[in-house]
């Protein structure tokens, strides 16, 4: 999330949201043992040396090593390891000791030597909202924004980091207003990641949110870009994880909407366990080996259970798309891209295309990204998009 400065805000160039300089969020505890907040006056910049990006999910920890320098993205390492049970929930670290040990072990085993660390995450506790406020001086924007946010969010803002960007000026009958995109990030969640990177002996470089990571990657790799320049373009990115699906709608290269759906690969696993008595440990491999959402002509009990679970998700997903359509004044989504672990289901994109009557494509190739190191070739890039995107610093 971009840090705020005392410089004059430029309305012609939108700042990058999702690039908090994590090392500038906190100082050392003061005499009372409390963390002394510190505002950063600079934006995270691209580095000539490698960084390591970490995305800690409920089932897997995904990591990527690489660099973004002079407008070019190079990835030299991709890996994933199981997340220790009970170590993290909904983006919040619960057991930093075991988490640090297993990540440190992976660093050594895969030869990750980058000194700078990036965390990319998402959580239902991270709130992303558009807010309209009266036009005020640059120095007053934060105060007015916090006041407006507090009016309709039942949270104590003293426990949150509040970041914003000015999207545009609006001329209304009551005067000129500012349209802002505001993110509230739980302070203790951020500090947990800060401590984790320190325990890994990595310089805390940046904290990102996954929908911003995918926005940067989509822009850089031209995913979903229309061939006709200047034509409006609205695409949806669906990150299908183990416990949740993150829906990000990007309009004209800007994040226009984000929602989390409480559904994931674990829902399918549980359904297979309950209805077919397949052990939870065996469901993951069975899904990949046996499921085929395209085989609907012949009755297959296994695939029927998988389809029923996917249909439950699609019902909720359609409601999210309809909500966005109503919110945006009837602006339809042009195309849907899926990625993440659950996107591995055979025939999923074709099945979703049929059910939603919209073009759905699984992301399997990245333009302009150098992925030619031995430790990267053959890795399923669609499972690493968040970490790859977070390496990009704009």
User: Which residue's structure tokens are 């850089």?
Assistant: 220
Is the distance from CB of 180 to CB of 186 less than 8 angstroms? no
CB 393 within 8 A of CB 68: yes
Angle in degrees, 0-180, between the axes of helices 280-290 and 301-327, rounded to the nearest 10? 80
SS3 206: strand
351-354 contacts: CB < 8 A, separation 24 or more?
Answer: 351/293, 351/294, 351/307, 351/310, 352/310, 352/314
How deeply is 104 buried, as exposed, middle or buried, from its count of CB atoms within 10 A (0-12, 13-18, 19+)? middle
User: 29 falls in which pLDDT band (50, 70, 90)?
Assistant: very low
pLDDT digits (tens, 9 = 90+) for 173-223: 888 999 888 888 899 999 999 999 999 999 999 889 999 899 999 999 999
* 32 pLDDT above the threshold of 70: no
Q: Are 121 and 197 in contact (CB under 8 A)?
A: no
pLDDT digits (tens, 9 = 90+) for 362-390: 998 899 999 866 777 777 888 999 999 99
Tens digit of pLDDT for each residue in 151-164? Answer: 878 888 889 888 88
How many residues are there in the chain?
394
CB 148 within 8 A of CB 83: no
337's CB contacts (< 8 A; 6+ apart) are: 223, 224, 235, 236, 237, 238, 360, 361, 362, 363
Task: Quickly state the pLDDT bin for 11 (edges 50, 70, 90).
Answer: very low
CB atoms within 10 A of CB 370: 14
Q: What is the mean pLDDT of residues 328-343?
A: 90
CB atoms within 10 A of CB 99: 22
- According to the model, what pLDDT value does residue 118 have? 95
Is residue 235 within 8 A of residue 249, CB to CB? The reply is yes
Round to whole Å and give the CA distance between 362 and 367: 14
> Using one digit for the tens of pLDDT, what is the confidence trace for 219-245?
999 998 765 555 678 999 999 999 999
* pLDDT for residue 6 is more than 50: no
E strands of 272-334, at which residues?
none
What pLDDT was estimated at residue 157?
Answer: 87
What's the CA gap between 140 and 390, in Å, rounded? 30
E strand residue ranges, the chain = 26-29, 35-37, 51-56, 60-69, 72-82, 88-89, 92-93, 116-121, 127-134, 160-172, 175-186, 203-209, 234-240, 245-251, 254-261, 335-339, 360-362, 369-370
CA distance 45 to 373: 24
| 51 backbone dihedrals φ, ψ, rounded to 5° | -125, 160
Contact between 103 and 368 (Cβ < 8 Å)? no
């Amino acid at each position: 999330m971009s840090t705020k400065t005392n410089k004059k805000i430029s309305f012609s160039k939108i700042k990058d949201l999702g690039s908090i300089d994590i090392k500038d969020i906190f100082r050392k505890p003061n005499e009372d043992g409390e963390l002394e907040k510190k505002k950063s006056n600079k934006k995270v910049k691209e580095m000539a040396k490698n960084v390591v990006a970490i995305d800690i999910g409920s089932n897997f920890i995904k990591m990527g090593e690489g660099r973004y320098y002079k407008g070019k993205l190079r990835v030299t390492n991709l890996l994933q390891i199981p997340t220790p049970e009970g170590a993290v929930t909904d983006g919040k670290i619960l057991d930093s000791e075991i988490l640090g040990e297993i990540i440190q072990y992976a660093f050594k085993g895969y030869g990750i030597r980058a000194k700078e660390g990036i965390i990319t995450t998402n959580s239902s506790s991270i709130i992303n909202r558009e807010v309209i406020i009266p036009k005020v001086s640059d120095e007053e924007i934060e105060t007015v924004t916090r006041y407006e946010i507090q009016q309709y969010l039942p949270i104590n803002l003293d426990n949150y980091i509040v970041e914003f960007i000015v999207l545009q000026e609006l001329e209304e009958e009551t005067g000129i207003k500012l349209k802002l995109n505001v993110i509230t990030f739980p302070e203790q969640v951020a500090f947990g990641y800060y401590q984790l990177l320190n325990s890994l002996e990595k310089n805390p470089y940046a904290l990102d949110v996954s929908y911003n990571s995918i926005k940067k990657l989509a822009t850089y790799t031209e995913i979903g870009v229309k061939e006709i320049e200047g034509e409006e373009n609205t695409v949806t990115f669906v990150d299908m994880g183990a416990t949740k699906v993150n829906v990000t709608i990007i309009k004209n290269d800007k994040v226009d909407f984000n929602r989390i759906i409480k559904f994931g690969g674990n829902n399918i696993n549980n359904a297979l366990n309950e209805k077919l008595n397949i052990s939870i440990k065996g469901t993951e491999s069975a899904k990949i080996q046996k499921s085929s959402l395209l085989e609907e002509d012949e009755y297959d009990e296994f695939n029927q259970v998988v389809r029923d679970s996917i249909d439950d998700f699609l019902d909720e997903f359609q409601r999210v798309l309809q909500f966005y359509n109503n919110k945006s004044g009837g602006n339809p989504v042009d195309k849907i891209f899926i990625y993440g672990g659950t996107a591995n289901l055979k025939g999923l994109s074709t099945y979703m295309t049929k059910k939603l009557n919209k073009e759905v494509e699984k992301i399997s190739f990245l333009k302009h990204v150098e992925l030619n190191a031995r430790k990267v070739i053959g890795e399923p890039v669609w499972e690493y998009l968040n970490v790859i995107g977070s390496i990009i610093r704009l």
